[in-house]
């Protein structure tokens, strides 16, 4: 596994990639540490770093990066549903639960959303609570910044 740290307007992030070039993690550096057996190298991440820079510059609305998030089948179903939320839009946890066929499972969907290992690219920040912004692994301020970048309503 390779990793690198990448500076963004919302703070440093850590990217992790398998040997075959598939991204497995994009996490905020203040909440994630690389494993001791991973190799540090920015070279394998040129494409994803460029796309992230374009996203933060406001010129990219979607990503073209091979992804391999590890999780349970339910978590992966939730993460696939996140990919269908358009740039600049938000949905509630309840709506996400309906989209994955579990309308009574908003809390479980919220937990799966929170376990997303590839932030920003798998846009978990686009899911908000019915009564406000809701949680976010990077913190509520980063969630607000990402939603503002996309021109989305951030809730209360």
**Catalytic positions:** 124
33: CB partners within 8 A, 6+ apart: 14
Q: What are the backbone angles phi and psi of residue 7, rounded to the nearest 5°? A: -80, 135
Residue 8 CA from chain centroid, whole number? 14
Phi-psi region of 10 (alpha: psi -120 to 50; beta: other; left: phi over 0): alpha
Q: In what order do the strands lie in the sheet with 39-40?
A: 23-28, 13-17, 2-6, 39-40
Calpha distance 111→37 (Å, rounded): 28
């Amino acid at each position: 596994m390779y990793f690198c740290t990448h500076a963004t307007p919302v703070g440093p992030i850590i990217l992790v990639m398998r040997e075959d070039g598939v991204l497995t993690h994009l996490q905020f550096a203040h909440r994630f540490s690389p494993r001791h057996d991973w190799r540090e190298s920015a070279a394998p991440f040129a494409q994803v770093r460029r796309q992230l820079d374009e996203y933060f510059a406001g010129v990219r609305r979607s990503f073209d990066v091979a992804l391999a998030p590890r999780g349970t089948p339910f978590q992966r179903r939730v993460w696939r549903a996140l990919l269908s939320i358009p740039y600049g839009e938000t949905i509630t946890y309840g709506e996400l639960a309906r989209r994955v066929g579990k309308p009574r499972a908003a809390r479980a969907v919220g937990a799966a959303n929170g376990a997303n290992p590839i932030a920003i690219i798998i846009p978990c920040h686009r899911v908000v609570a019915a009564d406000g912004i809701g949680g976010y692994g990077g913190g509520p301020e980063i969630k607000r910044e990402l939603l503002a970048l996309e021109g989305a309503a951030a809730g209360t």
